[in-house]
Amino acid sequence: MRFVLPLGIAAAAMPSAAQDYPTKPVRIITAEAGGGADLLSRIVAQGISVSLGQPVIVDNRGPIAIELAARAQADGYSFLVYPNTVWVLPFMRKTAWDPVKDFALITMATRAPNILVVHPSVAANSVRELIALAKSKPGALNYADASIGSIPHLTAELFKAMAGVNMVHIPYKGSGPAFNALFSYEVQVMFPNLGSAAPHIKAGRLRALAVTTLEPTPIAPGLPTVAASGLPGFESAVTQGVFAPAKTPQAVIRRLNREIVGALGRPEVKERLFALGLEVVANSPGEFAAAMKADMAKWGKVIKDAGIRAD
């Protein structure tokens, strides 16, 4: 897989369809109803429909959403809202899309930090203490995740590699069973989404040690980062991106970026997403491309080194 991301396309004569865009309803293709991508899609749809002057419809397609969006007509009337699965999954199995060739990037919409949590009985109150404990007892600590190849799984493997520790991977089918295993001490460590872990931390069922973003996050005030707690450069998050089919006219990409970034920047929208554990990013296509390139390089190495495969 290539890691060279085009940051722009040479300007060309723009057809009248792009100049007049949009003249009919716009469709957001996304994952199954009820998930994070679906929620974000509905917030975006509501936020841009008035400024675009057209209805914006959310089309829930589950696992086939990425492929469907990649094959959609490149006219700006269909675009995708989806997590970084778009560019991570192809490292783990053959996919029907290429994240670089098949998409034009609009914006990285949101970022959800992961959080390092342990069972309260684990004898570690900091990242450094957890690393020391893991080194003193190789293979004695188990870590959970909700699915093989998920960002929490990859985050734990990144932690193992950077800290030089041996923890045993125990996969579960869903976040509920993974949390239950952590509550019952079947596993001792986990790197879940911060939003999903927060209620359990408040209830005292889990102990939070650090967040996985490079900088502290206001979503978890007072909690240090893994990077500042002994592993410089450590970073992980679940990001949600907005993608158009490749060859979508650049004038349309710019228009969609402007409208979506504007919608996500509204105080009431940022507050709503913040309550769900999501930080608004809302960057430019070029900034999104650079972040995606770095993310692909990082997770590609982790996946290769750990031999991770997703069915």
Residue 79 scores a pLDDT above 80: yes
Q: How confident is the model at residue 3 (pLDDT cuts 50, 70, 90)?
A: very low
Answer whether 16-111+238-306 and 115-229 agree in fold.
Answer: yes
pTM metric for this prediction: 0.90
Give the SS3 label for residue 137: coil
Q: Residue 218 carries which DSSP code?
A: T
Residue bearing tokens 């734990």: 156
Name the CATH superfamily housing domain 115-229. Periplasmic binding protein-like II (3.40.190.10)
**Mean confidence (pLDDT) of the chain:** 93
- For residue 83, give Cα distances in angstroms to 41, 99, 292: 11, 12, 11
Residue bearing tokens 């909700």: 146
What is the average per-residue pLDDT within 85-90? 97
N- to C-terminal Cα separation, the chain: 19
Positive or negative, the Cα torsion across 302, 227, 151, 172?
positive
What residue ranges do the domains of the chain occupy? 16-111+238-306, 115-229
Provide CATH code, domain 16-111+238-306.
3.40.190.150
Residue 6 scores a pLDDT above 90: no
Q: How far is CA 58 from the centre of its chain?
A: 19
